[in-house]
A and B are shown apart, each in its own frame.
Chain A
Amino acid sequence: MQRELMNRAKELLIDETVVRVLGWKKGDLGYNHEPAYFDSPEELEENFVYDAFCGANLSKYMIEAGKQEGKTLVFLKPCDTYSFNQLLKEHRIKRENTYIIGVGCRGNLDIDKIKAAGIKGIESVDADGDMLKVKTVYGEKEMPFEEALLERCLACKGKTHMVYDELIGAGEKEEAGPKGNRFDRVSELESLSPEERFAFWRSELSKCIRCNACRNACPACSCLKCVFDSNQFDSNQKANADTFEEQMFHIIRAFHVAGRCTDCGECSRVCPQGIPLHLLNRKFIKDINTLYGEYQAGEDTDSLAPLTNYTFEDAEPGIVAERGRK
């Protein structure tokens, strides 16, 4: 499919439909591809890549790309289109400056899971049917594709693109649909005692080094200036000075994206400390779904988000205590 995408991108550049291409370029290792702009067919030929390590959600880059002169071609996987749609809804992207190729996706891989399986010295990873063939300095190793999937792909939203101009490879070889219930881990945490929950989150969040990777990768966390960098709330902090500040950062971050988070999982994917940040967002999503009705951010561009909406009969905040009693 990589070749097909590259050829189509070249065509669109040559016939001047678009002036640049937003895609993924090869990383220095076989598994750390990164988002990149391509201005010419030559650049595409040299560096463009599309495989199971193209996890990066390119939607957010379109905020800046959309401001440039001329159209930008962007490749979006099905789940990325939710983020894109959400940004459209929030008027952050100019649709008219965008040409979207919806790309098929079989699921993305989590290099940490491969490493955790005991495979060291990885040089390259190739999918072969249901198995992964991993070339390492110690020879070739194998592991099931399924076991190396990113957390987000376990909660796959399906193979449908919410927004696109054309589709390439969509619907092929895809194993759409979630594997199990994405809220299982949240429910498990909820069933713990408050002390256990506190211990869990303290140990997780204390790993935070406030590198802001989660914030920078998150398509919903796209403020021009984050409240934690500005003085609007007397809240500009460069580093966490105590156990609470990082909690405050993460609570507020999750709150600010509540009802807007598409559950794309970029936050957890990019966290260098491996903090399961998506569990904060999913908690909000789970609460929203149970209290205010099923809501999937990014599914459309005109519905009212749960936090900018209400009904007279909404649950009272006391429900938190009542639930706790059960």
Chain B
Amino acid sequence: MEVNQVQRIGVFVCHCGTNIAATVDIKRVLEAAAKEPGVVHAEDYQYMCSEAGQQKVREAIKEKQLTGVVVCSCSPRMHENTFRGAAQKAGLNPYMVEIANIREHVSWIHKNIEEGTEKAIILTRAAIAKVMLNAPLQAGQSKVVKRALVIGGGIAGIQTALDIADAGYEVDIVEKTPSIGGRMSQLDKTFPTLDCSACILTPKMVDAAAHEKITIYTYSEVEKVSGFVGDFQVDIRKKARSVDMSKCTGCGVCQEKCPSKKIPNEFNRELDNRAAIYTPFAQAIPNVPVIDRENCIKFKTGKCGVCSKVCLAGAVDYEQQDEIVSQNYGAIVVATGFDTIKLDKYEEYSYQSCPDVITSLELERIMNAAGPTKGHLERLSDGKAPKSMVFIQCVGSRCADERGKSYCSKICCMYTAKHAMLIRDKYPDVDVTVFYIDVRTPGKNFDEFYRRAVEEYGVHYIKGQVGKVAEHNGRLLVQGADLIDNRRILMETDMVVLATAIEPNPDVRKIATMLTASIDTNNFLTESHAKLRPVESPTAGIFLSGVCQGPKDIPETVAQAGAAAIKVVGLLAKDYLVTNPCVAKSDELYCNGCSACEKVCPYGAISYEDREVNDHGIREVRRVASVNSALCQGCGACTVACPSGAMDLQGFSNRQILAEVDAICR
């Protein structure tokens, strides 16, 4: 074994009051440690992590010129940083400290002193064996690009961007559809105050568009992400709009004159049609149409060109190409939002077969003055005003089977109360019944809101999930059971509204993969800590805003958007980041250049280059791996993929781990 210098190791054994001392014979541990080769100092103390304890470590390092420290104490997850700090203060490299975990792994579980002491000694020996092979490591620095990217231009993305921009940093919003606004722009009114959604959202959209620090890329998608916290390189694909944004005045003539008008209108949940050249809604930002090339006659047949002819500004440009914008960002916020689930597996609700069975989001559009019925409540089958309506809760939510989602969609109880109330208010002669399993209304003024629906607006709430909805004599027959009265319900109604489960936008999986952000089985992005780090992804520099992280309503989304923004601002306010030095390192003399390590690296931290290598006097150009220490997170996957042992992990090197193995099996 090669030892470059004579190691001088100090061992510090903590009593942790009686936590350790009660079941570990501290004196014997000290004696055993002192006998180990390389150990020049061994002492114990009541509470090693206390200031006085740390002082002992610092003094010993200076007096005995220690080159390495072993602290036998609680879990390294608890106090490793404490003792590293102490070492650093005494002039020793902080990575020359190892912890033997003799509390969580020994004294707390082994009640027999003999056993406990023996195990503590072995763990101490293993830590000593490891620290003998430790090398001083230097934490590196990496630059922070003072610009943030927000993926998704709904209320979550807009709010995050506004907050970041107000703090003085540049922000770019990338939105897939032709306008920002997201789901909220499709809503009619919002609970519990019944404000008109557009009235509160539109000013925010305008603010974002007008903000000098915010750049909005609509009809654009993130195409490629590389880099790491502080400096992500992102390629954004600006899809060809076929309309020159700088020339268009937003007059809307092109949309009126377009002959291809039979295209399902996504914004109105495909309840009516739009033209091939269109802006999704009147308040769209930017107020510039796009040509849907798949449905445009000009693009399909080469003939037509009406929009171009009628455009006085000459803004229509059929030759426009997709454009790639490459930009560097210090932080990225994911705000990709949600959609409702598909209901094709719920045959019993007849959603596919009866036009009068609709989802809640469709009802929002029907209720909206700009919607397919101009705000009149009517049946889509015959245009007649309904006399009776049934709302069904938890459609696809709280499902244990593969038809739906296991979680509660959280927002449905409240919006259903809202819908019921609005309908009873506007159309008092319409009878409204809500079938529920539980009414869940935690939130300020939420339960009061629901009670108002029942008490003031006379909405019937029936506990019991509906079993079946079927067309019957031009009306809908709803079969259910009232679980409280314990009686069968068989009622005819005119419209049925399904509170459909929400799910993360399906594109989020692709985005998460690009960002190496983790995602759960329901496609919600995972937060770094469910309680303490709820807006951070475990991947450094990636933050979460809105429903992409979990179901939530508008106030919660806005709150989370602000929280994500402050985390971003906190990051961008730094000029440099300190990087973890326990990263992989490749020895060029051993590297075969085979790329196995590169293939298993989850961070794209390994690259290959042709470099001249001096292998004991033989100079030749070889293809060798190099690790970007700012990107590497230190998992070690590459070290095992490497057959020659060229790739090793600093702080957890092959030889260090083998030394621990040997010490344990001695």
What residues of chain A have their CB less than 8 Å away from a CB belonging to chain B?
A: 67, 90-92, 222-227, 230-234, 256-257, 304-305, 307-309
Contact = CB atoms under 8 A, between A and B. Distances in A.
Contacts of B643: 223, 227, 256-257
A225 B590 contact: yes
B257 interface: no
Interface string B10-30: 000000000000000000000
Given A223-B592, A224-B644, A230-B644, 16 more contacts: A90-B594, A91-B623, A92-B592, A92-B593, A224-B592, A224-B615, A226-B644, A227-B644, A227-B645, A234-B1, A234-B655, A234-B659, A256-B643, A304-B599, A308-B596, A309-B599
A67 B645 contact: no
B644 A307 contact: no
A92 B644 contact: no
Contacts of B265: none
A67 B592 CA distance: 13
Interface of B: 1-2, 587, 589-596, 599-600, 608, 615, 620, 623, 641, 643-646, 648, 654-655, 658-659
B592 A222 contact: yes
A133 to B, nearest CB: 44
A90 B596 CA distance: 8
Contact of A224 (B2, B590, B654, B659): B590
Contacts of A90: 592-596
Contacts of A305: 596, 599
Given A90-B592, A90-B594, A232 B658 contact: no
Given A91-B593, A224-B590, A232 B1 contact: no
B627 to A, nearest CB: 16
B658 A233 contact: yes
Given A90-B595, A91-B595, A232 B641 contact: no
A92 B592 CA distance: 7
A231 B655 CA distance: 9
A308 B637 CA distance: 10
Given A304-B599, A308-B599, A308-B600, A233 B593 contact: no
B592 A233 contact: no
B590 A232 contact: yes
A304 B600 CA distance: 10
Nearest to B613: A224
7 contacts: A90-B593, A91-B595, A223-B592, A233-B654, A234-B654, A304-B599, A305-B596
Nearest to B622: A224
Contact of B620 (A67, A232, A304): A67
A113 B587 CA distance: 45
A307 B596 CA distance: 9
Contacts of B599: 304-305, 308-309
Contacts of A67: 620
Rank and list the top 9 A-B pairs by shortest CB-CB distance, nearest first: A232-B645, A90-B594, A223-B644, A308-B599, A256-B643, A227-B645, A233-B654, A308-B600, A91-B593
Nearest to B643: A256
A232 B558 CA distance: 53
Nearest to A220: B643
Contact of B655 (A91, A222, A223, A233): A233
Name the residue in B615, B643, B648, B658 with the highest tally of chain A Cβ atoms < 10 Å from its Cβ: B643
B640 to A, nearest CB: 9
Interface of chain A, helix or strand or loop or mixed? loop
B658 to A, nearest CB: 5
Contacts of A257: 643
Contacts of B659: 234
B478 to A, nearest CB: 40
Contacts of A230: 590, 644-645
A90 B658 CA distance: 28
Nearest to B591: A224
B637 to A, nearest CB: 9
A307 B592 contact: no
A119 to B, nearest CB: 41
A308 B606 CA distance: 14
B594 A91 contact: yes
Given A67-B620, A225-B589, A225-B644, A231 B2 contact: yes
Contacts of B655: 231-234
A307 B641 contact: yes
Contacts of B592: 90, 92, 222-224
A298 to B, nearest CB: 14
A317 B595 CA distance: 26
A225 B615 CA distance: 11
Given A223-B644, A227-B643, A227-B644, A234 B594 contact: no
A273 B267 CA distance: 76
Contacts of A231: 2, 655
Contacts of B641: 307-308
Contacts of B591: 224
B594 A92 contact: yes
Contacts of A309: 599
A67 B620 CA distance: 9
Nearest to B598: A308
A304 B598 CA distance: 11
Contacts of A91: 593-595, 608, 623
A26 to B, nearest CB: 32
Q: Which of B591, B594, B595, B600 is the most central at the interface, judged by chain A CB atoms within 10 Å of its CB?
A: B594
Contacts of A234: 1, 654-655, 658-659
A226 B643 CA distance: 8
A296 B453 CA distance: 67
A90 B625 CA distance: 12
Nearest to A304: B599
A230 B644 CA distance: 9
A294 B658 CA distance: 35
A67 B593 CA distance: 14
